[in-house]
Structures are given as structure tokens and as C-alpha cells.
Amino acid sequence: MSVAEPASLALERVVEVLSRIVPVAAAIRRATLRVALVGTVAGALIVYAALRDGAPEAARGWLATVVVIGLAAAPPLVLGTFWLLLGEVVELPARIRRMPGETRAHAEELGRLAREARDPRRSRARRVPGLVWRTLRVTGSSRELLTPYAPLLPLLSVPFLTAVAFAALGVVVEVAIALLVLLVLAL
């Protein structure tokens, strides 16, 4: 049994476990998008009502308007961030499956860069900028390869998950306020 076989088996086990989580994450992601969109519409209605008569004249009026806009925008933005992170969870099994091939490709590219850097036939002035640029590209893409779990860390953060819960509650409050605003505007 080669060294690569246990690593491959471990990766497959991780992918198998994650594959069980993906449908749940995808369902939560769809629901989160719906709630965020409802919050966006409700928030837009609230902001419209706040700015309907034009911009406020006094500094206090501007401050109140900025606070209203911030409070209306915050819940959909937090839920949108949560939606994006759940998208990372959904993509994680495929990313982990691609890791061995991408790792080989990065190693081959770094080997080519090293050979080109030692090539005496080309002048340094001509090869250094291109080598630096290609090295930066490889290292930048390697960061995602080496830390596939990094985007998921906020999902393990109690403060972030608390903010998501409050954002969902905030959307409920926004919808109630938007319905009242709609009622007042209709009268």
C-alpha cells in the first residue's frame, strides 16, 4: 500500500461525510435566500417611505435617515453573507475531490518556474517580471487549495451565527414595519 492510498481513502471518507451534509446546507441556503430577498423588499419599502418626501433638511434628519437605511439593510446583508458561506459548504466536497489533481498541477507549474529561473539562455531582465507574475498567480491560487475550509470558519463562530439569527428576526420585524408602512401609504 503506497502513501497516497491512505490519504486518498481519508479524503474519500471526508467527502462522504460532507456529502451527507450538503443536502441540508443546500436546503438552508435556499430558505436563507428567500428570507433575504423578502427582507430586501421590505427594507426597500421602509427606505422609500423614509425618503418619500425628499431628503431631510437638518443634520438630525440626515442622521435618522442614515440609521433607518442601515437598520433596513443590515438583516439582508447578514443573511446574504450566510447564503454565500453555505454555498461554500455545498461546493466543498467537489473542491476536496479536485485537490490531488490541482496539487499536482501546482507542483508541476512551480517546477517549470524553477527551471525557467535557472535557464541561462534568457536574460534576467526579460524573465524576472514574467516569473514573478506567474509565481504570484500560483501562490494566490494555492492559498485556496491549501485552506479549502477557510471560508467555512464563520459558520463555526457563535457571534456570526447569533448575528444570522438576529438578522432573520430583523427580517420579520422589517416585514411587519413594511406592512404598516404600506397600509399608511395606501390610506
**pLDDT by 10-residue block (mean), the chain, 187 residues:** 62 76 92 97 92 76 86 95 92 79 78 75 68 75 67 86 96 95 89
Helices then strands, counting H and E runs in the chain, come out as: 4, 0
Q: What CA dihedral angle connects 20, 26, 29 and 35, to 10 degrees? A: -120
Residue 111 is assigned to a structural domain of this protein: no
pLDDT at 44: 94
* DSSP structure class, residue 2: -
Domain count within the chain: 1
Residue 144 is assigned to a structural domain of this protein: no
Domain of residue 9 covers: 4-98+154-186
Residue 124 is assigned to a structural domain of this protein: no
Report the chain's terminal Cα–Cα distance, integer Å.
78
Residue 107 is assigned to a structural domain of this protein: no
Residue 134 is assigned to a structural domain of this protein: no
pLDDT at 142: 67
pLDDT at 129: 75
pLDDT at 166: 97
CB 38 within 8 A of CB 179: no
pLDDT at 4: 57
CA nearest to 71, candidates 44, 94, 53 = 44
pTM above 0.85, yes or no: no
pLDDT at 89: 86
Specify the DSSP element, H or E, that contains 13: helix 4-51
pLDDT at 62: 82
pLDDT at 13: 79
pLDDT at 132: 76
Residue 108 is assigned to a structural domain of this protein: no
pLDDT at 115: 77
pLDDT at 123: 65
Residue 60 is assigned to a structural domain of this protein: yes
pLDDT at 7: 62
pLDDT at 5: 64
Residue 135 is assigned to a structural domain of this protein: no
